[in-house]
Amino acid sequence: MPALTRGATRTLRPPARRAAHAMDALHTEIDNPLDLLAGHHLLAEPACTCGLPQCPSAGATPQAVATRIFLIERHPVVSAGLRSVLAAAPDLAVVGSATDPGHAVAAVHRVRPDLVLLGRGPGLDADLAAVAALRRPDGAPDARILLLRRAGTTTEASRILMAGGSGCFPLDLPPDRIIDAVHLAAAGATLFLPAPHPSARTPCRPNARSTRPA
């Protein structure tokens, strides 16, 4: 190999193998084409911060990191509608999806989203079991989880929090309120929309001895 002389210019080629490997892994983990596009966007190289005037990225405005969302919804039409709503917010990106909560645990573990939106199941008990499964170490223990349902009472809201959820909201809210709810949950807030009704208290049964005549 000839020795480099002073003043010679070396041309550095981009690490094509590394980039190809990252994209191959992304294709393996994400099956939905819409999720794949979101994943490619998130894997884009950040703007250069070298500060040199000749750099192509000079003067470019740095982009905020999008909140990574994993969607679990059994009904494809509902899932498509929710995707359309979230697409209106440039700082939200759906990076994965599943129709079955049981099969979503492994996918969530690979994708590592910031927020999981869990569609309504056959009942609250089934939804809380899904939250507990997603909270396991083999799921996404650090992600926040929002249930796409109403909390009818404060007792149901307490059960959601105790299971590891961050709150809930129904899908019949206006699109802007859905986006606001997702932003709040991603920022660390706990929310229940609409506000649940206070749980009815069970009346105390009178003491049997006090009812006896003197």
112 contacts 68 by C-beta, under 8 angstroms: yes
Virtual torsion, Cα 24, 30, 35, 41, nearest 10 deg: -30
In this prediction, residue 63 carries a pLDDT of: 58
CA distance 173 to 181: 10
pLDDT for position 65: 83
Report helix, strand or coil for 76: helix
Domain extents for the chain? 65-192
The secondary structure of residue 197, as a DSSP letter, is B
Tell me the C-alpha distance between 76 and 78, whole Å: 5
Instruction: Check residue 56 and give its pLDDT.
Output: 52
Q: Is 88 helix (H, G, I), strand (E, B) or coil?
A: coil
For position 199, what pLDDT does the model report? 79
Q: Which fold has domain 65-192?
A: Rossmann fold (3.40.50)
- Residues in the chain, pLDDT under 50: 1-46, 208, 210-211, 214
With 0.85 as the threshold, say if the pTM is over it. Answer: no
Q: What is the DSSP string of 13-60?
A: PP-HHHHHHHHHHHHHH--SHHHHHHHHHHTSPPPP----TTSTTTTP
Identify the pLDDT of residue 48: 54
pLDDT of residue 33: 42
Residue 134 has what pLDDT? Answer: 96
| Residue ranges of E strands in the chain | 67-72, 92-98, 115-119, 144-148, 167-168, 191-192
